Structure 1
């Protein structure tokens, strides 16, 4: 099987990321049965499992870089991708090679129809298991795709888990309240695990602590059991104190300090931190696409994947602290997002707004976004492409592109060539 044939086969499978009304399994039983046909590649992997509404991708990346700085061989599984589907499966920052991708797919393909329908996400998760086991990684870091309890990544049995900020998102699947969503996210908690959590609203913290007790696990909250304080954020990065030691991270925004904090705590609890100076150096050189990412300096153009009300609030706070002035806002969104709520937050930092489509079958039209905005008395201009919106917004910088990580991916591609990964 060639790489192209592997991609073509993958494209025949169900992909929830492309569906307007995605469907999800009601149990993991069939997926477990499928993995058994492949020899249970998920077993025996040592690592970390990360769930949450916002920040789990950044946290997974940060944790992998911390582990790498300590000399470990680290597998990282992320979603979605920015440049290439292979970037979802990495070892020490190197994407899975085309030959390995094709070879693993050839092994997986005969079993795909054997145990019910298998999704693209499940197949990629399975490929990550196979790849990490074959390459004998020291640790693997898995970002949950959606929820936690019924996510394909939840078949792994690891000792360490992280729960990032929990808020309303994907309510059509996970539940209508933040408490229901928290219960789904806490589905990753298993007996004896060490759980590190970011600060949560009181009702969510109670649920996490209750589920930890039920599973006879342990939990440590940043800012409570774990000393932590953010100092400041600027265009040069973010400063914070963790366990009485001052750190600077190149990622921008107080929320990124929280992501680094739980990653540091989890690595420390796992007993893998040996050289703190190497960690400090690694944190100063982090770069993760679509997270308050500076795409251009003059005029200043920034991309951020905020796509729910909570992340919009964090984005607003970052703009106010870091930029100190309002922005020309370019906004695009997928369906089933709280457009009115998000724009209700971002309007306070916007001097003008341009509505654009997102490169996805699930995209709202710019016209619909404009109509939604007008309901809450927000005006803006419709643009048929991101490029056209940029041509207008760039005349009145700074420019902020937001509303969807998929939109950020389009923006990143406009301003930078994709990285050329080395083959592992």
Structure 2
């Protein structure tokens, strides 16, 4: 029986390789072709309640807490997210579990290919359609869709949401979305639809968001206007026009993600009790986001891959270091070449004592030459994350901190490397 399931997983792996082969790597997003295929697949009118989550950072944390609270409150939930850390299964969850039967995925792939014929599409578009087909067949109360890139032309935007969330807007993916917050705000706001409620998690949103909101006739639910939150010692408080929620526990995800999640659920007036919120806040966890994976030495993994994310990481580290004394930070950095590397690094320069950098095991990794031009002259290069982690753990003291950041790929390779090192020991 074990051999049977192993062979099925191998077969799914080959299918995914095939899909990547037939899909164009550099194809620009085009929502019209996704709509065309979705019509043929009859998935444009899924009966579930749809929540679409866009933004530069915090989407994954927001989706994770939405899922947890809804499940703890008795709803059936599907969640689609990207990218994954280790394998494709992570992208599609139903009621908190991955769909690990390879034959289900393969049958969905075959169905999509049967209607696509000669239409060219991207890998993300294909996988998004697969997720929607799986959700449609599962008769769910709520479906949570994490936008992959932007919003307006993203494949998730093929489905009209009942609630749209924009976590924040920063500079990232500028080659695809534009080189200003105004342009990026316009793209993120592409998920707005007429009469839909839109929850906004950032006060200083670009004017383009208001323009799209007015044009789309949506109801904005904004931080510092319709809702807000504040922290007090080891608890935090949320308040809106419906009242205040006191003494909430500090979660392991960002407080801003937790707050916008509660804002979204309260504006929907769902049957969610405070005890369910508290329970979910205590339990929610997202790998790769200020992820403490080892204690002595302390190793923190964070997928921060743009300036907006590393600024937040800087704040987390400052708060963390206020509780510790005489800690030396060793930074291990690997990032994709298309990112704004200079500004991503800049936020952490004053905190990191010793810099190390590496090439990632992906075709679009930033090279040694590119990183050398940006990082301090004293920074040391290692050919792989595993090699760097191994060398660092021989060098640092037990009280010190190793910070691995720059990409989801960096985090995934670090987790695999640490497991491998301790298996060998």
Q: Distance in 1 between matches of 2:350 and 2:220?
A: 37
Partner residue, 1:342: 344
Q: Please give the alpha-carbon distance, in whole angstroms, between the structure 2 residues aligned to 1:179 and 1:381.
A: 38
Cα deviation for residue 92 of structure 1 reads 1.8
Decide whether the 8 Å contact of 1:112 with 1:118 is kept in 2. Answer: no
Look up the SS of the partner of 1:301 in the other structure: strand
Rounded Cα–Cα distance in structure 1 between residues aligned with 2:49 and 2:366: 41
Segment drifting more, 264-273 vs 364-373: 364-373
Task: Tell me the secondary structure at the aligned position of residue 283 of structure 2.
Answer: coil
Match of 2:423 in 1: none
Corresponding residue number in structure 2 for 1:399: 402
Select 2:374's aligned residue among 372, 375, 385: 372
Deviates more, 1:126-135 or 1:242-251: 242-251
Asked whether 1:288 is paired with 2:286, we answer yes
- 1:94-243 superposed matches below 5 A: 94-97=97-100, 98-114=102-118, 116-202=119-205, 204=206, 206-231=207-232, 239-243=235-239
Closer, same or farther: CA 93–169 of 1 in aligned 2, 3 Å: same
Instruction: List runs of 5+ in structure 1 lacking aligned partners.
Output: 233-237, 418-424
Q: Distance in 2 between matches of 1:17 and 1:398?
A: 41
| Superposed displacement of residue 41, structure 1 | 5.2
Among 73, 80, 84, which residue is 1:81 paired with? 84
Distance, in Å, in 2 between the alignment partners of 1:17 and 1:78 is 19
* C-alpha distance in 2 between matches for 1:292 and 1:239: 19
- Post-superposition shift, 1:2? 5.2
Given the superposition, is the C-alpha separation of residues 322 and 220 from structure 1 closer, same or farther in structure 2, using an over 3 Å criterion?
same
TM-score (norm 2): 0.88
CA distance in 1, matches of 2:391, 2:8: 43
Deviations, residues 348-387 of structure 1 (Å, cap 9, x unaligned): 110101001122111012343122225xxx5300011212
Aligned-pair CA distance for 1:15: 7.8
Count of residues in Structure 1 that have an aligned counterpart in Structure 2: 400
Structure 2 residues not aligned, in runs of 5+:
1-6, 421-425
Distance 2:74 2:392 in 1: 44
Query: 2-side partners of 1:382 and 1:306: how far apart?
Result: 20
Contact 1:291 1:303 in 2 (8 A): yes
Inter-partner Cα distance in structure 1 for 2:59 and 2:155: 16
What is the RMSD computed on CA atoms of the aligned residues?
2.2
Which residue of structure 2 aligns with residue 420 of structure 1?
none
Distance 1:112 1:9, change over 3 A: farther
Equivalent pair of 1:66/1:264 in contact (CA under 8 Å) = no
* Matches of 1:207 and 1:81, distance apart in 2: 30
Query: Cα deviation per residue 1:79-111 (whole Å; 9 max; x = unaligned)?
Result: 011122011000122111222212212222222
Aligned to 2:3: none
Q: Aligned residue for 2:27?
A: 23
- 1:12-66 deviation line (CA, Å, top 9, x unaligned): 34589995xx3313x3222111112212355333120000011111111111111
Normalization by structure 1: what TM-score? 0.89
* Equivalent pair of 1:329/1:393 in contact (CA under 8 Å): no
User: Corresponding residue for 1:382?
Assistant: 381
Alpha-carbon contact 1:267-1:273 (below 8 Å) kept: no
- Is the contact made by 1:70 and 1:272 (CA closer than 8 Å) also made in structure 2? no
Asked if structure 1 preserves the Cα contact closer than 8 Å seen for 2:52 and 2:165, the reply is yes
Secondary structure of 2:312's match? helix
Which deviates more from structure 2 when the two are superposed, residues 324-333 or residues 185-194? 324-333
